[in-house]
Amino acid sequence: MTNDITSSAKSLYNFIENGKSNVFNVTFMAKMYLVDAVSKCAYGVESNVWKDPNPILKQLIKNGVITSELESNCAALCSTLLPWANYITRTRMISREALGYVKKIYESVVVQRRDQGNVRNDLVQHLLETDEKRKAAGKEGFTNISWMTNLMVFFLDGTETASIAMSYTIYCVAKHPDVQRKLRDEIREMGVTLENLDFEKLKSLEYLDMVLSECLRHYPPLPVLSRKATKDTTLGAIRVPKGMKVLVPVWKLQKDCRNFSNPDEFDPERFSADRKSSIHKGAYLPFGEGPRLCIGMRFATTAIKIALITMVLNFEMSCSVEDMKPEKSSTLFLFPENGLVEVKFSPLVK
């Protein structure tokens, strides 16, 4: 996975280096990078997103995986309160472009590998092997809908959710030059480059992990989580019966002074080895928790870290907008205001 993401990161570097301007919409740039990385890591295909993306992919990057705010909010509300209503209203959360791209992946990659027996270490291969094990155990194999669902969930987590997290992370690093310098120093001191980067070297960058954790605390991609109680329980003075839907206000929890001192301050050190143990497990949930933990979490964090390494080693980042604010959490995702995060990239003197 690291090698494939690093390949996408090199393309990201070329995109910035050869840009007509040194100010970039990092939300758009993050989507390009992540669509390319997901296509390689999960599906084993080249997206050509940097050179000549197909019309479906071009539209997908422009509009995103999620449908309009109104339609996606209606779809989410229906699925939570009135699941049958989606069948009547035909509302959906996933855009037609995203469905079209994943359907193409299924038809061109999954079917071909299943017929020809080609093997590659990626999500498709994992699902193929799981499918065979189910059949060997006398269980029903994956249906076409199951295949599409599994491929789509990873695509959603790996592109839409991760691009929001990556956009805010770049913004935070650009806004705090002291953090940016310390991060650059750590990467250089550890001798990490895109040429020698592997998973172990990535794990050794402790300050990088602290910076990303603090960015995700300030700007969790999913400001609210929905869960269903699996058994009767009591939360404080509130009785929660089995089957009840519970909404978890992630953004509010992570900005609550009872959980984090000086919550509005950007302080990566709060996630240092000697301090993070004091953070309540239920107060920090940027990717959820439990068995439904974001399926693309490892991919997303790895991809964002590799992108940051690429940017910090080669560019000085600064904000073109002094005070960028996220939209209110009435939306499913914590999208930036107007869907825009602009950052200036100035090449470092080598």
Cβ neighbours for 226, distance < 8 A, ≥ 6 positions apart = 76, 80, 245, 246, 247, 248
Closest CA to 306 of 4, 6, 1, 3: 6
Closest CA to 157 of 37, 297, 286: 297
Cβ neighbours for 44, distance < 8 A, ≥ 6 positions apart = 109, 120, 122, 124, 125
**How far apart are the C-alpha atoms of 333 and 282, rounded to whole Å?**
20
- Counting runs of H as helices and runs of E as strands, what totals does the chain give? 15, 7
Residue in the structure block whose two tokens are 């089957």: 243
Instruction: Identify each DSSP E strand in the chain by its residue range.
Output: 23-25, 225-228, 233-235, 238-240, 245-248, 315-319, 342-347
- Torsion angle, alpha carbons of 102, 104, 109, 112, to 10: 140
- Tell me how far apart the 2 most distant CA atoms of the chain are, in Å: 62
DSSP code per residue over 230-285: SS-EEETTEEE-TT-EEEE-HHHHHT-TTTSSSTTS--GGGGSTTTGGGS-GGG--
Q: Is 41 annotated as belonging to a binding site?
A: no
Instruction: Encode 90-123: b = buried (16+ Cβ within 10 Å), e = exposed.
Output: ebbbbbebbbbbbbebbeebbeebeeeeeeeebb
Q: Which residues are annotated as a binding site?
A: 294
Binding residues for heme: 294
